[in-house]
Amino acid sequence: MRITMIGSGYVGLVSGACFSDFGHDVVCVDKDASKIEALEAGRMPIYEPGLEQLVATNVAAGRLTFTTDLKSAVAGADAVFIAVGTPSRRGDGHADLTYVFDATREIAEAVTGPAVVVTKSTVPVGTGDKVEAILREVRPEVDVQVVSNPEFLREGAAIGDFKRPDRIVIGTDNERARGVMRAIYRPLYLNESPILFTGRRTSELIKYAANAFLATKITFINEIADLCEAVGANVQDVSRGIGLDNRIGKKFLHAGPGYGGSCFPKDTLALLKTGEDYEAPLRIVEAVVQVNDSRKRAMGRKVIRALAGDTNAAAREETRGKTVAVLGLTFKPNTDDMRDAPSIAIIQTLQDAGITVRAHDPEGMEAARRVMPGIDYRTDAYDAAAGADAVVIVTEWDTYRALDLKRLKAAMSGDVMVDLRNVYPPADAEAAGFRYSSIGRVAPK
């Protein structure tokens, strides 16, 4: 199969590299010349474990190439995947489809057919119909089918997720297009990854329903964690206690500072907008969005309260001028992606309260500097903690799971640790001399 991937970001590059690894002939296109230059020189424009090796192997085998020239890449392709960004539109939260439609117009000019055009980007219900209308209008004579094939990979584990997906969803009613998609994914089908064929609109909706459900699960356990703190219960035990029930499942029941990242925040908003447009409001998702939004700043206030050691306003005022070391900035470990990371709102809340923030992240500091120029970036956790009044774990990178707590404490001038990912057993942190707080866990009385 000859595959063209339009957009070589987190999804396009991983998908393109994996398809080439299946044996297909893949061209990854991006209009950002610096990304293509980097890729041609063997440098990855993003951090994703295993990607550099996968790309190098398939480039060497002659199955994977990169270009900024969409026209030549699309001509003669059996399948053209659209994997461009679909961020939130300013103002109303609807998915901004500018990149998708611009790419479609460029594809329409270049496509020779017969071909399938596949939306891998997360797009609202009905987008496939619009993509098809553009193609028909510009090139009525060419045989092209439009297919929806949403992507479910997780950053940080993207290659494994792509190669061993829980399911592959393909939305089309066209038999020829189904055949092409089946051929593309055949290696996974042989591995027994189920392929679910649906209508195009259903497939588009599956992606949003999945993300909204996962965001709901996280938000649910976060609120239960708050209740645990109020009643003296332990949220990790509650998670285990409910997660072992197969109807509920263990995943996505880790209480924390609220979800972030490049998908959940924008996809939940876009789903709400679709619900509104079709007069089918999604009240549960509405509540999830609100609760999660307010949670991030609430986490900043939790740090301030811990620093004050007291709940009264005067004590909180005395935290002005203190220094907090933030460990972990990306929205989750093993990525450099800073889009909508909870750290941004937490740090903003601390800075608004007159607190000085310094930070460390193993892979995200370059991206973080672009969104948060006003913080002091340090070389490692101990360097960040040196002379600080408090340390806050925001992202559970492995490197923060095995800190020498005594050394960390000794480097600080204060003794507060706020662990927003429940990485440490409270007794361990307390034994190292910390005044320790975490999420939804209070010491047994």
Q: What residues make contact with ligand NAD under the rule CB under 6 A?
A: 6-12, 29-32, 35, 70, 83-86, 99, 102-103, 106, 121-122, 151, 153, 155, 262-263
Two tokens at 286?
Answer: 């509405």
Identity of the residue, 169 or 375, whose beta carbon is nearer to ligand NAD in the bound complex = 169
Q: Provide the terminal-to-terminal Cα distance of the chain, rounded to the nearest Å.
A: 64
43 is in an annotated binding site: no
120 is in an annotated binding site: no
State the residue for tokens 């679909």: 86
198 is in an annotated binding site: no
Identity of the residue, 80 or 375, whose beta carbon is nearer to ligand NAD in the bound complex = 80
Exactly one of 18, 28, 228, 263 is catalytic; name it.
263
Identity of the residue, 102 or 137, whose beta carbon is nearer to ligand NAD in the bound complex = 102
d(CA 240, CA 249): 9
The rounded Cα 75 to chain-centroid distance in angstroms is: 32
d(CA 397, CA 331): 10
Query: How many Cβ atoms sit within 10 Å of the Cβ of residue 368?
Result: 24
* Shortest Å, Cβ 263 to ligand NAD: 5
Burial group, residue 106, by CB count within 10 angstroms (0-12, 13-18, 19+): middle
* Shortest Å, Cβ 293 to ligand NAD: 19
18 a catalytic residue: no
Identity of the residue, 51 or 263, whose beta carbon is nearer to ligand NAD in the bound complex = 263
387 is in an annotated binding site: no
* Shortest Å, Cβ 8 to ligand NAD: 6
| Edge-to-edge strands, sheet with 115-119 | 64-67, 25-29, 2-6, 79-82, 115-119, 144-148, 168-171, 195-198
Identity of the residue, 21 or 30, whose beta carbon is nearer to ligand NAD in the bound complex = 30
Two tokens at 37?
Answer: 């230059």
* Shortest Å, Cβ 369 to ligand NAD: 18
* Shortest Å, Cβ 314 to ligand NAD: 44
35 is in an annotated binding site: yes
Alpha carbon separation from 340 to 269, 273, 295, 315, 328 (Å, rounded): 13, 19, 13, 31, 14
* Shortest Å, Cβ 194 to ligand NAD: 18
Alpha carbon separation from 442 to 140, 226, 395, 425 (Å, rounded): 66, 11, 21, 11
Residue nearest ligand NAD (C-beta atom): 9
260 is in an annotated binding site: yes
* Shortest Å, Cβ 153 to ligand NAD: 5
Identity of the residue, 98 or 413, whose beta carbon is nearer to ligand NAD in the bound complex = 98
Is omega for the bond preceding 281 within 30 degrees of 0, making it cis? no
254 is in an annotated binding site: yes
186 is in an annotated binding site: no
154 is in an annotated binding site: yes
Identity of the residue, 9 or 362, whose beta carbon is nearer to ligand NAD in the bound complex = 9
Q: What residues form the annotated binding site for substrate? A: 152-155, 207, 252-256, 260, 332
User: Binding site: what residues are annotated?
Assistant: 30, 35, 86, 122, 152-155, 207, 252-256, 260, 266, 332, 339
Known catalytic residues are 263
Binding residues for NAD(+), as ranges, are 30, 35, 86, 122, 155, 266, 339
